[in-house]
């Protein structure tokens, strides 16, 4: 399940005018869930919502009122099935839903947030009033209505009425998850009714746990608080209804994953998998694989991906199926996370060959899998192929979900990261900024997705030389992640980028602290080490701790070459960093061959005029200067200057540094006028 899907989206979430997203948005989503459980159908049909993209979604959510739940229960075969699971006929179920439950659901789903319940506690209190046969706040306060409630509240058959209500409210769960079977014996039905009562109590208490009248310390509920309260009560709450418990735990697990609570998500998804029917296992495994990857548990993710593939192949009957395509892609994604890029590439290619054999293109055309394949192409230095894949995937995502969906934000973040490698820093920053805005609107500013988008924007601002802005953005990302019980692998990206910014701002000790923390987390998780090692070495180099820096640079280079090969761009990056450190340490002759190899690799991989290749060339120019090879240094630095200033401007920190080296070279050659000219460019970079 994707967070913010149209079926559960509130009008303000679909709106592009910037209406405030707050806790009342959650009330709308709870109303949709209650509607679905009561009526056995969504308020708005999925096909109708998605058929016209974001424009149709906005029109339906803002202008069209949903039918009352009671009127959705017609005399059709599907309605008869829904009613039958509650031991009722459709007319009887309509009578049960009419009035109170219609009013409660539709108030929760009001178009204007101010007209909804102000909190989940208030919604729960209205459900309690209904169960006690008291007037509900959502109902019309007429004398006749209140009198009917009084009579019902005091009649002798209160127990029977309460049992009937329990069957309706969590025939809720029984309808959605098909836990109660109409063909069972009467004795079994009685036990199921008792279980349904337990489910009813569980759901109502989950909503009501933050009622300020029952608990004065709680004035409102966040989604995380609702989940925590529900999780405390779920164990043993649904006896003899394993399928219902599986469905509840699946929702809890997916919701916990969505708010970055990965350990709790694992607990509930694992239990759901134990209880689930066979046809639900693939979906649960997909959720668990994603959760494992967020936690850095790649080995566990691989085991589950292989199980998912076995299930898909067992059920395919030898025919191409979308399930097998998705399973192959899941295994490829795990191999990618472990930096087994060739394996990942082969698995993705097998998946998409199989996709070409499908009788029809599935909804979305595997846009998520294609984004993941693009990341593999990126890591294998096939930048243009990766950009093409991401561009097409992002277009498919926009068509399917509209422009303001979380999946669009994820695609933008991925493409922003790639555009950095392509040297298109302005485009990278714009894409990341849009991703930040979408995440804030769709999942809020306390989610790992929001922090990840901030990290991408911070990296782009850093490359653009806007260091103070980068520091502010990355610090905010760190604050968000620090507030999560398990910040996941995103934290590594934030620490890495923030450390680099602090280093360039001259805050060397703070940068070293960031990098040491990142390396410690990577070792703890068994995650990729090459980048954290390289970053820490760079921070030590800046503080002239050359011996320790050399140790970490060489360890990083060994790891990188073993994983990616001698001629990879990441190996070239570490090689030029080591060469620069040796130059700083007074050993430019030792750095020279490393620089030459790095420059050659960058020229092979990157297009002509790429700023990153020019920066590496400029660094080699300094190495030549320190060796006294002045003519070579001047030619190398001059060529690098032209590219850097044309791409990044004369005020960029890299350009200023090159101007200083050119001035030194001219002075060493006795060219006083040339030195003065370059000093002027260094002092007044805009001129």
Handedness of CA 482, 488, 490, 493 (dihedral sign): positive
Confidence of residue 196 (pLDDT cuts 50, 70, 90): very low
Q: 573 lies in which domain range?
A: 515-683
Confidence of residue 214 (pLDDT cuts 50, 70, 90): very low
| Residue appearing with tokens 């561009």 | 391
Q: What's the mean per-residue pLDDT of the chain?
A: 81
Query: What pLDDT, in 10s, does the model give residues 377-399?
Result: 988 878 889 999 889 888 888 88
DSSP notation for 46-83: HHHHHHTHHHHHHHHHHH-PPPPHHHH--SSHHHHHHH
Query: What pLDDT, in 10s, does the model give residues 59-79?
Result: 788 878 888 888 887 755 566
Q: What is the pLDDT of residue 78?
A: 64
Residue 255 within a domain: no
Query: What pLDDT, in 10s, does the model give residues 442-463?
Result: 888 888 889 999 999 999 999 9
Per the model's pLDDT, the better-predicted residue between 258 and 416 turns out to be: 416
Query: What pLDDT, in 10s, does the model give residues 469-501?
Result: 999 999 999 998 887 776 767 888 899 999 999
Q: How many CB atoms lie within 10 A of CB 215?
A: 12
Residue 211 within a domain: no
Per the model's pLDDT, the better-predicted residue between 329 and 143 turns out to be: 329
Q: What is the pLDDT of residue 224?
A: 67
Residue 556 within a domain: yes
Residue 132 within a domain: no
| C-alpha triplet 684, 685, 686: angle, nearest 5° | 95
Residues near 377 by beta carbon (within 8 Å), at least 6 away in sequence: 345, 383, 385, 386, 389
Which pair of tokens denotes residue 643? 């590219």
**By C-alpha distance, which of 601, 500, 589 is closest to 542?**
500
Alpha carbon distances (Å) from 550 to 1, 19, 624: 47, 53, 20
Residues near 580 by beta carbon (within 8 Å), at least 6 away in sequence: 541, 591, 595, 619, 622, 623
Instruction: Using a pLDDT cut of 90, give the percent of the chain over it.
Output: 39
Residue 74 within a domain: no
Query: What pLDDT, in 10s, does the model give residues 126-138?
Result: 888 887 777 888 7
pLDDT at residue 209 is higher than 50: no
Q: What is the pLDDT of residue 338?
A: 84
Q: What is the mean pLDDT of residues 389-412?
A: 87
Confidence of residue 42 (pLDDT cuts 50, 70, 90): confident
Confidence of residue 166 (pLDDT cuts 50, 70, 90): very low
Query: What end-to-end distance do the CA atoms of the chain give, in Å?
Result: 54
Q: What is the pLDDT of residue 163?
A: 30
Q: Which residues of 110-138 are buried (b: 16+ CB within 10 A; e: fewer)?
A: beebeebbebbbbbbbbbbbbbebbbbeb
Which pair of tokens denotes residue 263? 């350990």
Alpha-helix runs per DSSP H in 585-651: 588-605, 611-626, 630-648
pLDDT at residue 583 is higher than 80: yes
Confidence of residue 19 (pLDDT cuts 50, 70, 90): low
**Counted domains in the chain:** 1
pLDDT at residue 370 is higher than 90: no
Q: What is the pLDDT of residue 462?
A: 95
Tell me how far apart the alpha carbons of residues 62 and 11 are, in angstroms, rounded to a whole number. 6
Q: Are 474 and 454 in contact (CB under 8 A)?
A: yes
Q: How many CB atoms lie within 10 A of CB 27?
A: 24
Residue 603 within a domain: yes
DSSP notation for 386-419: HHHHHHHHHHHHHHHH-TTSHHHHHHHHHHHHHH
| Residue appearing with tokens 């360039």 | 504
pLDDT at residue 169 is higher than 50: no
Tell me how far apart the alpha carbons of residues 130 and 200 are, in angstroms, rounded to a whole number. 13
Confidence of residue 4 (pLDDT cuts 50, 70, 90): very low
Residues near 336 by beta carbon (within 8 Å), at least 6 away in sequence: 344, 372, 375, 376, 379
Tell me how far apart the alpha carbons of residues 228 and 565 are, in angstroms, rounded to a whole number. 46
Residue 162 within a domain: no
Cα dihedral 77, 83, 88, 92 in deg (nearest 10): -90
545: domain CATH number is 1.25.40.10
Residue 261 within a domain: no
Which pTM was predicted?
0.53
Query: What pLDDT, in 10s, does the model give residues 235-274?
Result: 776 667 787 788 788 878 887 887 778 889 999 999 999 9
Tell me how far apart the alpha carbons of residues 389 and 414 are, in angstroms, rounded to a whole number. 11
Ramachandran angles phi, psi of 46, nearest 5°: -60, -45
């Amino acid at each position: 399940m994707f967070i913010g899907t149209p079926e559960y989206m509130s009008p303000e979430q679909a709106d592009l005018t910037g209406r405030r997203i707050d806790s009342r948005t959650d009330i709308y989503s709870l109303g949709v869930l209650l509607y679905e459980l009561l009526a056995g159908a969504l308020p708005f049909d999925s096909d109708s919502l998605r058929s016209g993209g974001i424009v149709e979604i906005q029109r339906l959510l803002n202008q069209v009122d949903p039918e009352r739940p009671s009127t959705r229960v017609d005399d059709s075969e599907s309605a008869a099935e829904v009613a039958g699971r509650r031991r009722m006929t459709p007319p009887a179920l309509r009578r049960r839903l009419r009035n109170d439950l219609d009013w409660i659901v539709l108030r929760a789903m009001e178009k204007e947030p101010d007209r909804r319940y102000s909190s989940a506690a208030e919604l729960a209190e209205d459900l309690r009033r209904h169960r006690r046969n008291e007037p509900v706040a959502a109902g019309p306060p007429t004398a006749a209505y209140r009198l009917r409630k009084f009579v019902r509240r005091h009649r002798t058959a209160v127990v029977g009425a309460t049992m009937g209500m329990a069957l309706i409210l969590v025939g809720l769960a029984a309808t959605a998850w098909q836990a109660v079977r109409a063909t069972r014996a009467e004795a079994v039905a009685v036990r199921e009714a008792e279980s349904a009562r337990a489910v009813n109590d569980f759901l109502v208490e989950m909503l009501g746990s933050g009622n300020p009248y029952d608990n004065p310390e709680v004035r409102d509920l966040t989604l995380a608080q609702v989940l925590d309260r529900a999780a405390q009560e779920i164990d043993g709450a649904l006896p003899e209804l394993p399928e219902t418990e599986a469905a509840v735990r699946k929702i809890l697990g997916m919701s916990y994953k969505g708010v970055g609570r990965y350990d709790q998500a694992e607990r509930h998804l694992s239990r759901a998998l134990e209880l689930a029917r066979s046809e639900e296992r693939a979906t649960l495994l997909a959720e668990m694989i994603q959760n494992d990857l967020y936690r850095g548990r790649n080995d566990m993710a691989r085991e589950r991906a292989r199980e998912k593939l076995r299930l898909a192949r067992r059920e395919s009957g030898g025919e191409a199926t979308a399930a097998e395509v998705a399973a192959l892609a899941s295994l490829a994604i795990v191999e990618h996370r472990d930096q087994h890029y060739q394996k990942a590439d082969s698995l993705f290619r097998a998946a998409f060959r199989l996709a070409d054999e499908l009788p029809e293109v599935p909804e979305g055309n595997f846009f998520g899998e294609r984004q993941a394949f693009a990341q593999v192409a990126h890591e294998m230095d096939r930048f243009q192929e990766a950009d093409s894949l991401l561009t097409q995937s992002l277009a498919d995502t926009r068509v399917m979900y509209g422009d303001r969906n979380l999946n669009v934000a994820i695609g933008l973040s991925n493409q922003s990261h790639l555009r950095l490698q392509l040297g298109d820093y302005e485009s990278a920053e714009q894409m990341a900024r849009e991703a930040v805005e979408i995440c804030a609107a769709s999942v809020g500013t306390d989610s790992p997705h929001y922090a990840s988008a901030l990290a991408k924007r911070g990296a782009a601002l850093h490359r653009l030389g806007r260091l103070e802005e980068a520091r502010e953005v990355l610090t905010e990302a760190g604050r968000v992640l620090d507030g999560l019980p398990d910040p996941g692998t995103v934290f590594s990206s934030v620490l890495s980028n923030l450390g680099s910014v602090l280093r360039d701002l001259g805050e060397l000790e703070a940068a070293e602290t960031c990098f040491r923390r990142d390396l410690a987390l990577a070792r703890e998780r068994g995650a990729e080490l090459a980048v954290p090692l390289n970053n820490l070495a760079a921070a030590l180099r800046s503080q002239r701790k050359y011996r320790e820096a050399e140790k970490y640079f060489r360890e990083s280079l060994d790891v990188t070459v073993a994983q990616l090969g001698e001629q990879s761009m990441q190996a070239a990056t570490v090689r030029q960093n080591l060469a620069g450190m040796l130059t700083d340490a007074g050993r430019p002759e030792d750095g020279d061959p490393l620089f030459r190899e790095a420059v050659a690799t960058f020229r092979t991989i990157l297009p002509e005029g790429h700023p990153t290749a020019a920066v590496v060339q400029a660094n080699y120019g300094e190495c030549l200067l320190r060796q006294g090879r002045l003519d070579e240094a001047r030619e190398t630095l001059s060529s690098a200057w032209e590219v850097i200033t044309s791409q990044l401007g004369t005020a960029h920190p890299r350009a200023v540094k090159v101007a200083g080296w050119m001035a030194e070279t001219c002075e060493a050659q006795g060219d006083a006028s040339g030195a003065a000219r370059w000093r002027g460019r260094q002092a007044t970079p805009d001129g």
